[in-house]
Amino acid sequence: MKKSEVDVLIVGAGPAGLAAAIAAKQSGFARVRVLDREREAGGVPRHSLHTGYGLRDLHRVMSGPKYAARYISKALEAGVEISTSTTALDWAGDLALALTSPMGLEEVSASQILLATGARERGRNARAIAGTRPVGIYTTGSLQQSVYLRHQEIGTRAVIIGAEHVSFSAVMTLAHAGVQTVAMLTPEARHQSYFPLHWGTALRYRYALRTKTKLLEILGRERVSGVRVATPSGEEVIECDTVVFSADWIPDNELARRGSLQISESTKSPIVNHLYETSRSGVFALGNLLMPIKSADQCALEGSSLLSKNW
């Protein structure tokens, strides 16, 4: 097995990981390596085609892919080594990780390790929803990957579960794929986003926001045919061939748990001090791995702040 050594090893090439890598290079670390299991670096913004990225860190508003490209080129210019299609599987020591990539297995040790593995939306299985297991069920993240990266056919009529910022991103992605959003459901009394975002999206894409409405069951044999929901006036079925589960985030804490780092009971994120250091000396965590969920620029600013804090 190949063995190697770097000064700083960062898992996750999203905004947080890339910004931290640039900060590490600027503070004088010679060998800084960032790895990501995806085929390309950039994290979530890479497949989030709409605008809304970069305000607080780059002082302009741009699309997700442009924002990701900006961080990738800044990291490469700074001399960061980026390894894509490379997954950190487990720990190989207190400050060492076991990796797998198309080149085979590798063990990398470092003087500092940063976990910037992000968060994901809870999918259907994690939400304990009754019903069958037909085709046509996504999270916003998997929908965006299917539409923007793999250019797959999605369906014709969608119901979105959840009414947070990311749910409006799902509406735009569905429209891009030629899918009509027929309803957005939330058990809450109102949506949990900004009013202009809701009004603008609802006006443009013409869907019904159904508040105080709870998903009970997904219907359909091979393909989704509808959802059974509970509303204040009783149960009803909404016909659709696509269901998107949005928001309801869970931190991607696999490595933190495997490393027996202290995890918060309430957020399921690794516990960090004011320097973003976890319960293991030399191991740091930041970005959306630390809940609650934040925007990309906030995650990148956390990464950049390592320059002044401890790198």
Ligand X SMILES: Cc1cc2nc3c(=O)[nH]c(=O)nc-3n(C[C@H](O)[C@H](O)[C@H](O)COP(=O)(O)OP(=O)(O)OC[C@H]3O[C@@H](n4cnc5c(N)ncnc54)[C@H](O)[C@@H]3O)c2cc1C
Report whether 154 contacts 182 (CB < 8 A).
no
Measured from the CB of residue 228, what is the shortest distance to ligand X in angstroms? Answer: 26
- Six-digit token string for 144: 């965006």
Measured from the CB of residue 37, what is the shortest distance to ligand X in angstroms? Answer: 4
Compute the distance between CA of residue 55 and CA of residue 299 in angstroms, rounded to an integer: 12
Positions touching ligand X (CB under 6 A) are: 11-17, 35-38, 43-45, 48, 52-53, 87-88, 116-118, 140-141, 144, 166, 169, 252, 255, 287-288, 294-297, 299
Measured from the CB of residue 139, what is the shortest distance to ligand X in angstroms? Answer: 8
Q: Measured in whole angstroms, how far is the alpha carbon of residue 39 from the centre of its chain? A: 15
Of 100, 98, 224, give the one whose Cα is nearest residue 159: 224
For the chain, how are helix, strand and coil distributed in percent, rounded to 5? 30, 35, 35
How far is CA 193 from each of CA 19, 121, 161, 171, rounded to the nearest angstrom? Answer: 27, 16, 14, 14
- Judged by beta carbon, residue 24 or residue 299, the one nearer ligand X is 299
Measured from the CB of residue 83, what is the shortest distance to ligand X in angstroms? Answer: 9
Cβ neighbourhood burial of 8 (10 Å; 0-12, 13-18, 19+): buried
Measured from the CB of residue 42, what is the shortest distance to ligand X in angstroms? Answer: 7
- Judged by beta carbon, residue 194 or residue 199, the one nearer ligand X is 194
Of 136, 122, 46, give the one whose Cα is nearest residue 84: 46
